[in-house]
Amino acid sequence: MPSWLLRGASVCYGAGARAHRGFMRWTSGGRGRLACAVVSVGGLTVGGSGKTPFAARLASGLKRRGWRVVLASRGYKGNSRLPVSVVSDGSFIHSSVAHSGDESFVLAAHAPGVPVLVGRDRRLVGHHAVSAFDAQIVILDDGFQHHRLARDLDIVCIDGPGGFGNRRLLPAGPLREPISTLGDADWLCVMDGRSTASESSGETLRESDTIRSFEASGREVIWARRRPIELVSLDHSDTLSLASLRGRRVGLLSGVARPSSVRRTLESLGARVVVERRFRDHHKYTAKDCDDLDHSGLLWITTEKDGLKILPDWLGGHRLWVLRIEVEIEQEDAVLDRLQARLQSTGRLAKRPG
């Protein structure tokens, strides 16, 4: 598509996004309100900001403190048409990736013991979380553009190295909404941002200005990073240490928003990525996608999200390794303290868990 046509479509998209947010702000009195505290974790860009594992990390931290927490996801790319689906009740899985989407299963994997619910209308999902699980806190995954449900805290995640890309709206760039909508966010979470703090590129400086102006307005900026843990075989029968990647020739199979981020992680661990097979974000894998991978001396690696949608039988006896990554929040206990205090100050959360 010609660049001028992309820019024109981007202008139209931006106008629609502004109108939608403005209309929902104007009608905010009609937004659904739950009988519990609501925290939204979202983003401005299409994928790659780490918001899903970050939401799971917050949920796990709050659960450890004794709060009854439920994670609510839209179930993007899932084929369910049910108003509410229970992916996990905190103990058992009750759905499938095809039914509820890959992100809901990433949530369940990274927040063991926390119920995960899916539904297009997060108001209905939230009400079910309260009625069925007696939720004290509902965390919305990818909730910044979901305006039907009132929330007590809006957190927006930004990928530190990728930032806002070319700072253009879809389809000319990665932005779902203009950067100015950060004015509606309460907290900002910069993912992997410390690693680029010393870089001097113009793009990095512009994003640093955005962060500084956010802090200057009296709002909070928190920092987090994605930390690789280990490699697990697709059939979960074996593991490899990250040290085993040093000097290894690697093939990367991915269907994520920012495959360059995965490649960067592998290379930081000493791997030599010599071939990549990339698909669109949330790609629905078939056996054909895996039946002709070159395994001659290569260690093939994929992401957790992709591994959920690939069957071991499709590999013809070969192995595919899943790179497990977790999110770490800097000064996590202090962040959770401030989060609790914020929610309690609104009267939406009891003074004590339980």
Residue 203 and residue 253 in one domain: no
The residues pairing with 228 across neighbouring beta strands, listed in sequence order, are 325
303-337 burial string, b = 16+ CB within 10 Å, else e? bbbbbbbbebebbeeeebbbbbbebebeeeeebbe
- How many domains does the chain contain in total? 2
Predicted TM-score (pTM) above 0.85: yes
Residue 54: partners with Cβ closer than 8 Å, 6 or more residues away: 41, 155, 157, 189, 191, 224, 327, 329
Is there a single domain that holds both residue 128 and residue 243?
no
Quote the distance between the C-alpha of residue 308 and its chain's center: 15
pLDDT computed for residue 1 by the predictor:
59
Query: Do 317 and 191 share a structural domain?
Result: no
Q: Are 184 and 155 in contact (CB under 8 A)?
A: no
Flag whether 123 is in a domain: yes
Q: Which residue has the higher pLDDT, 150 or 209?
A: 150
Domain assignment of residue 218, yes or no: yes
pLDDT in tens, 161-191: 888 888 889 988 999 999 999 999 999 999 9
Same domain, 115 and 255: no
Q: What is the mean pLDDT of the chain?
A: 90
Residue 5 and residue 342: Cα distance in Å, rounded?
Answer: 45
Q: Are residues 218 and 237 in the same domain?
A: no
pLDDT range class, residue 297, cuts 50, 70, 90:
confident
Contact partners, residue 88, CB within 8 Å, separation at least 6: 94, 95, 108, 114, 115, 116
In a domain, 119, yes or no: yes
- Do residue 127 and residue 241 come from a single domain? no
The DSSP symbol for 218 reads T
Is residue 300 within a helix (H) or strand (E), and if so which, with residue range? strand 299-303
Q: Do residues 275 and 341 both lie within one domain?
A: no
Q: Is residue 199 part of a domain?
A: yes
Tens digits of per-residue pLDDT, 33-77? 999 999 999 999 998 899 999 999 999 999 999 999 999 999 999
Q: 257 and 186, same structural domain?
A: no
Residue 140 sits in the same domain as residue 280: no
129 and 276 both lie in a single domain: no
Do 178 and 221 lie in one domain? The reply is: yes
Residue 232's domain comprises 228-326
